[in-house]
Amino acid sequence: MKKEIKPDFYKKFQCIAGECEITCCQEWKIAVDEDIRKRWENITPGSTEKLTDYIEEKEGTSVIRLKENHKCPFLNKEKLCKLVMEYGEETLSKTCQLFPRQIHEFSDRTEYALVTCCPEVVDMLSKEKPFESADLLEKEKSLDGIGLLEKEKPFESADLLKQENDLQRSTEKQDFLAQIRYLICSILENEAYSVEKALKMSFYVLLDILEKAGMPNRNARRQKRVSLDDYGINYKCISLEAYQEEALQELSDAMDAMEQDALATLEERNELFLDLAENYRKEGLYTAYLEPIAQLAESYSENGYDEALLDKNESFEKEFVKYETLLRRYFLQEIYADFLLPESNLQDLVVAFQWIGIEYAAIHQALFLRFQLEKEELPYKTVRNYLVVIARMMGYDEDDITEYLQNSFQNLIWEWGYFALIV
């Protein structure tokens, strides 16, 4: 029987429904699974229409056709769901039933998480930590894991033996990757490091582990996805002991000694933000949040970046640092929920962390721009809302993330210096 990893944070969530300021029922693709589609075929809310009349196909996926104002057609004036009120929750698609919950089925465990693109989840993070990484590690250690595979079993065929060997190898890999996630969480949890530094340190560690694992060669980094398992990596032989407190402190000190080009960072963050926002602006999504700051970002891009921006950034940082605790918890939750997935390999973790780096850069830049428009004020509500909007903008699946990185950068896997530049 598989074990469950379900942090207490997950259990505490309750949807606030009509009181939610950024409802999940608008400006978003709402998928409709096949079982619900069949159910909808038998429901006729009007004399001639069926619920299935509200379904359309987008990029090969069945989704609810939104109204012209980008709201779900089943959302009433009180921001409550007509389907639930008239037909019960069993008529909701899996997407609507689960959100903002997320469930990952690994071979040896089931993990439950909350995603950060819900304002209520961010509000919860403003009040408490999502989990203690040490507790998370203990839950992972309690899994049956390889111990199950060490018990004697009768093998009646070579195929069965191969299946057992594959299962053991998969379990070894998942255990190793879970240990890496714990290591990254523990770095981010350490308040001796700022969130920015913790992210930079974590990416350095990930690249170092990737090199030790035998990253094939520089050209392989251009491929869409390298299956490191094909290179015969023995995950049990890769030690994470090198990343203890003393070594991490040395890494932190080395980063302190490096010179940073703050203006280059502002420029790259600005260009990244504009690139991420482009399609959403074209579709008229999140207009109230994106359009004002995007116009300011475009003015910087067109007119150039000068030293005056550094003074504005200095004022912004004094306000931004007040949300350090919230950001630390936010990215801990991001790493727990989306960094390690059931089919992940070591390279996938690096790619996922690069996406987290872009997310941090986009959040920082969006709030920097908004700070200037709000007369150099940065209230909690503004921070919360932009965390939610950026999280929704970043909510792509693995293949789409890989494609974006492949099309936007020379190599799929970055040099550490670029990650440090944007973060």
Those residues of the chain that have pLDDT short of 50 are: 143-165, 167, 217-226, 230-231
The pLDDT value given to residue 348? 93
The pLDDT value given to residue 153? 38
The pLDDT value given to residue 220? 47
User: Can you give the pTM of this predicted structure?
Assistant: 0.88
The pLDDT value given to residue 6? 86
pLDDT, tens digit (0-9, with 9 covering 90-100), for 110-146? 999 999 999 999 999 999 998 877 766 666 655 443 3
Q: How many other C-beta atoms can be found within 10 angstroms of the C-beta atom of residue 260? A: 10
The pLDDT value given to residue 375? 85
The pLDDT value given to residue 184? 96
For 97, 146, 210, 247, the CA distances from 171, given in Å and listed in that order, are 31, 6, 19, 28
The pLDDT value given to residue 232? 57
